[in-house]
């Protein structure tokens, strides 16, 4: 394969302290749209409002000729068409997805990549068939340790040409809630979300949810492809191996109250009582507590949680805010989860800007 020089595919980098968003970052932001925060209002995010992240191009997949291969360390490799997949056990689950890069653009210094602020999240009703029975049918060899999932999209990243591919430990791949998904909110899966088939690993950050799935390969050694061994690592220095990004850290978001200024998104509200609402989630076993601050994170007030949702679905919350003083206020919200993890108020910086869950800030002017 011809090596691509760094002018075509530059290495990872962190922005200079005073460096603004570049046209390259803007182009990524325009392609990979977030969920408008007012859509926190919906229990299930309408399809067009769900965030989208695609590393390369959205591939055109012809369903007539498409098929899924299941092979590697198995007795009987399988080849399945979409009708084969659709004729199997059908499961629908509400699951919240969040991109591991969510919050990246608010880090100081800013890792140069897709510049998300708070909005790379959404909840859908995903319909598909469990993966585990298919792997059992194929007959797993005792040597199996990881499963590699390959999409149909191809590109180059930091000089490494590749087809999008992620590995998952066998124990995770065999969970009964891991699905091969062909439906979203009761409709066929749309192209931008991975049609005709995608992987769903509830609780894990977005990178694990491989779209345009073409191949499932059982491996007898840990998967060491780019998206596991180079990308999605928590690290401070470029040369350290770092820890892998896995499950979603707890996070809460606030539906911005009042109405916005077009350009700054600063909110304007009237003096009086406002019911603040939003959602909270965690890949470590549900959000169990939400706190709201009206002084930029100095003091906190416990919010009321909505009914327990499905295990990896966001949970609604509300808190009544008595906005009796005129002037500017910084609203913050933070979640805790069943494992006792609490969202940090200050950033926990890493070079790729991944798995970041420092609190959202919404600037409001009370008049
Ligand atoms: N084949 C393929 N799968 C992929 C990606 C990709 O670029 N190619 N992006 C991943 C990332 S980083 C995220 S955050 C989620 C986004 O899923 P969505 O666009 O359906 O919200 O898809 C994941 N699956
Ligand atoms: Mo992502």
Average pLDDT over residues 310-321: 98
Quick check: 285 pLDDT over 70?
yes
pLDDT of res. 1: 58
Average pLDDT over residues 45-52: 98
- The number of the ligand 1 atom at minimal distance from the alpha carbon of 56 is 7
Instruction: Give residue 34's pLDDT band: very low, low, confident or very high (50, 70, 90).
Output: very high
Quick check: 7 pLDDT over 70?
yes
Closest-CA residue, ligand 1 atom 11, reads 207
CATH class of 2-231: alpha beta
Q: What percent of the chain has pLDDT over 70?
A: 99
- The number of the ligand 1 atom at minimal distance from the alpha carbon of 194 is 20
Quick check: 293 pLDDT over 80?
yes
Average pLDDT over residues 162-171: 98
- The number of the ligand 1 atom at minimal distance from the alpha carbon of 52 is 19
251-366 has which fold? Immunoglobulin-like (2.60.40)
Instruction: Give residue 4's pLDDT band: very low, low, confident or very high (50, 70, 90).
Output: confident
Ligand (nearest to CA of 207): 1
Taking only the tens place, the pLDDT of each residue in 59-70 is 999 999 999 999
Q: Which residues line ligand 1 (CB under 6 A)?
A: 50-55, 97, 99, 151, 153, 164, 193, 206-207, 209-212
- Report residue 26: phi and psi, to 5°: -65, -40
Taking only the tens place, the pLDDT of each residue in 174-189 is 999 999 999 999 999 9
Instruction: Give residue 41's pLDDT band: very low, low, confident or very high (50, 70, 90).
Output: very high
- Give residue 1 CA to ligand 2 midpoint distance, Å: 27
HEC secondary structure over the chain: CCCCCCCCCCCCCECCCCCCCCHHHHHHHHHCCCCCHHHHHCCCCCHHHCCCCCCCCCCCCCCCCCCEEEEECECCCEEECHHHHHCCCCEEEEEEEECCCCCHHHCCCCECCCCCCCCCEEEEEEEEEECHHHHHHHCECCCCCEEEEEEEEEEEECCEEEEEEEEEEHHHHCCCCCEEEEEECCEECCHHHCCCCEEECCCECHHHCCCCCCEEEEECCCCCCHHHHCCCEECCCCCCCCEECCECCCEEEECCCCEECCCCCCEEECCEEEEEEEEEECCCCCEEEEEEECCCCCCCEECEECCCCCCCCCEEEEEEEEECCCEEEEEEEEEEECCCCECCCCCCCCCCCCCCCCCEEEEEEEC
Q: What percent of the chain has pLDDT over 90?
A: 97
Taking only the tens place, the pLDDT of each residue in 112-152 is 999 999 999 999 999 999 999 999 999 999 999 999 999 99
pLDDT of res. 2: 61
201 DSSP β-pair partners: none
Quick check: 3 pLDDT over 80?
no
Instruction: Give residue 218's pLDDT band: very low, low, confident or very high (50, 70, 90).
Output: very high
Distance CA(227)–CA(216), nearest Å, equals 16
Contact 78, 69 (CB under 8 A): yes
Structure tokens at 154: 């191809």
Give residue for tokens 């979409």.
82
Report domain extents, the chain.
Answer: 2-231, 251-366
pLDDT of res. 5: 82
Ligand (nearest to CA of 101): 2
């Amino acid at each position: 394969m011809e090596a691509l020089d760094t002018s075509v595919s530059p290495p990872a980098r962190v922005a200079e302290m005073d460096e603004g968003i570049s046209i390259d970052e803007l182009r990524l932001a325009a392609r990979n749209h977030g969920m408008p925060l007012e859509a926190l209002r919906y229990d299930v995010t309408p399809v067009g409002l769900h965030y989208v992240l695609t590393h390369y191009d959205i591939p055109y997949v012809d369903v007539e000729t498409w098929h899924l291969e299941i092979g590697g360390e198995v007795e009987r490799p399988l080849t399945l068409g979409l009708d084969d997949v659709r004729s199997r056990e059908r499961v629908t689950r509400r699951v919240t997805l969040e991109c591991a890069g969510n919050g990246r653009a608010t880090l100081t210094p800013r890792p140069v990549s897709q510049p998300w602020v708070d909005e790379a999240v959404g909840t859908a009703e995903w319909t598909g068939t469990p993966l585990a029975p298919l792997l059992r049918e194929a007959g797993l060899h005792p040597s199996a340790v990881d499963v590699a999932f390959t999409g149909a999209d191809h590109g180059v990243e930091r000089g490494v040409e590749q087809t999008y591919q992620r590995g998952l430990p066998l124990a995770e791949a065999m969970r009964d809630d891991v699905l091969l998904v062909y439906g979203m909110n009761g409709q066929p899966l749309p192209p931008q979300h991975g049609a005709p088939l995608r992987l769903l690993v509830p609780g894990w950050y977005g990178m694990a949810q491989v779209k345009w799935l073409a191949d499932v390969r059982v491996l007898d050694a840990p998967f060491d492809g780019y998206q596991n061994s180079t990308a999605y690592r928590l690290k401070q220095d470029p040369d350290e191996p770092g820890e892998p990004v896995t499950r979603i850290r707890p996070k809460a978001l606030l539906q911005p109250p009042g109405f916005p200024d077009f350009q700054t998104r600063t909110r304007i509200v009237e003096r009086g009582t406002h019911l603040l609402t939003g959602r909270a989630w965690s890949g470590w076993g549900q959000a169990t507590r939400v706190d709201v601050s009206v002084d930029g994170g100095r003091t906190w007030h416990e919010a009321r949680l909505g009914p327990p949702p499905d295990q990896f679905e966001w949970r609604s919350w509300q808190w009544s805010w008595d906005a009796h003083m005129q002037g500017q206020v910084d609203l913050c919200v933070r979640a805790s989860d069943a494992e006792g993890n609490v969202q940090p108020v200050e950033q926990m910086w890493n070079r790729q800007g991944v798995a970041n869950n420092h609190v959202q800030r919404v600037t409001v002017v009370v008049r």
